[in-house]
Amino acid sequence: MTGLRSLALLLPLLLGWASGHPAPGRRSFHKLLLISFDGFRWDYDQDVDTPNMDRLVKEGVKAKYLSPPFVTMTSPSHFTTISGRWVEEHGVIHNMLYNSDKGWKYDFKATQNKTEWWDNGVLPLWITAQRQGRKTASFHYPGGGAKYDGEPVQRSLVESYSHPDSNETEWRENIDIVMDWFKKEDFDFVTLYYGEPDNVGHRFGPETENRRVMIQQIDRTIGYLREAIERHGLTEHLNVIITSDHGMTTIKMKPEVTEILLTNYVKYRDLVKFDLVDYGGLGMIEAKPGQEENLYQALKNAHPSLHVYKKEEFPKHFHYANHKRALPILMYTDPGYNINGRLILHINKGDHGFDNSVMDMKTIFRAFGPDFKKDYLAEPFDSIHIYPLMCKLLGVTPEPHNGSLAVTEGMLRDSSGQNPGSATASKTMHNVVIGLGTVTAVLFVLFIAAVTYTAIQRKKT
């Protein structure tokens, strides 16, 4: 009976081991690559030949269009995608870090390395996934160079000032680097950012041959991506989401229209302490002490295409103004009208930052991989819903967010409606079942050994 007593003592230890040790080589989620092509308007592929994007329609998911958040700028929109929160909740309310008391502003690229601009108590998916055992990286994606709650993204490359946004060879090299991260270093989640077609849309305008040529370059890059995935043996292991941050519209200029120049309506020296204008269709301004009402009254009816609000009266549906960083007076314009402060430079032929309900501000959503249906056309949706979708794909329990998995789960092959994080629970249950099977086999062997030992001992006595 000594052998049987030993068996009884081993049983709880073996059960504990089974529940805590996963089966080797098994995982319940696939890898995920999120790619953003900055400023890719929803209809850019409709007036140019794009065979690779057309192929994605048949082999994956296409949304009719995607609605970005307000304000339709690069950093605010990208951080909504990676966090699932409205702009007024995550606090990245502009491309530029600024301080109205000190009077300074950092441009878009300088702001990428400023943790104080990005870290506002909302965790992006990189950090959430890392804390749940995933390996994550950011390649030029806005916000990827910051620390959140003191924690950096495990691997992050930030764009330099001299980075060549439109170099097709470099684009392909970046894809090869990311594929190696997945294949050789076993990364689970990578974000990859390209600065086009935003730059060409600004410089030449969205309705130009220059923009159409750039879309063809992007299409070739998507074709190269598909080849690279296959070449690295990742076809059955990698989900890909391709999206953008906003669209683009042609800027209206005189003599076609009367352009908006704030110095035509207010005396800056007397009324204005700080402004954030000359940046598309959104402007913010702070008055000198005691001049708040005078400044507001001077601006509110200044131009028929300029919509001026006190911060507390800004339209709630934009989910924008309810943050401490928003300045006391906010303005936005009708599509195509830029807000100019002291002078008009006419640098940009195209721009964004306008009302996110305007069709020219809508953008794209494409997806393919082992978890996505094929030849699936999704209805339009807001970009906040990408976050819970990504959590579902990665088997990650999400942080609080404004999105809903119900909006996107129909595009998944397994759209049973389980909540994000259920993959983790399923993985745990799977491990327990495998472990219990192992324990059963071990117990059976021990039982036979114990019975044999007992029989031998009886013969001896």
Active-site positions read: 74
The half-sphere exposure of 360 on its side-chain side, counting CA atoms within 13 A, is 18
Can you tell me the distance from the alpha carbon of 241 to that of 234, in angstroms, rounded to the nearest whole number? 15
Read off the tokens for 329. Answer: 């007076």
Helical residues (DSSP H) of 232-316, grouped into ranges = 268-271, 292-300
| Distances 341 to 47, 261, 277 between C-alpha atoms, Å | 35, 6, 6
| Distances 401 to 70, 71, 86, 145, 404 between C-alpha atoms, Å | 16, 18, 8, 22, 8
Q: In 3D, which of 113, 108, 114 has the Cα closest to residue 94? A: 108
Whether 90 contacts 78, CB under 8 Å: no
Can you tell me the distance from the alpha carbon of 30 to that of 125, in angstroms, rounded to the nearest whole number? 16
Can you tell me the distance from the alpha carbon of 166 to that of 294, in angstroms, rounded to the nearest whole number? 46
Can you tell me the distance from the alpha carbon of 417 to that of 195, in angstroms, rounded to the nearest whole number? 35
Helical residues (DSSP H) of 84-167, grouped into ranges = 87-90, 108-111, 115-118, 125-130
Q: In 3D, which of 321, 322, 349, 323 has the Cα closest to residue 336? A: 349
Q: In the beta sheet, which residues pair with residue 370?
A: none
Place of tokens 């076809």: 235
Can you tell me the distance from the alpha carbon of 440 to that of 428, in angstroms, rounded to the nearest whole number? 18
Can you tell me the distance from the alpha carbon of 44 to that of 61, in angstroms, rounded to the nearest whole number? 17
Radius of gyration, alpha carbons of the chain: 28
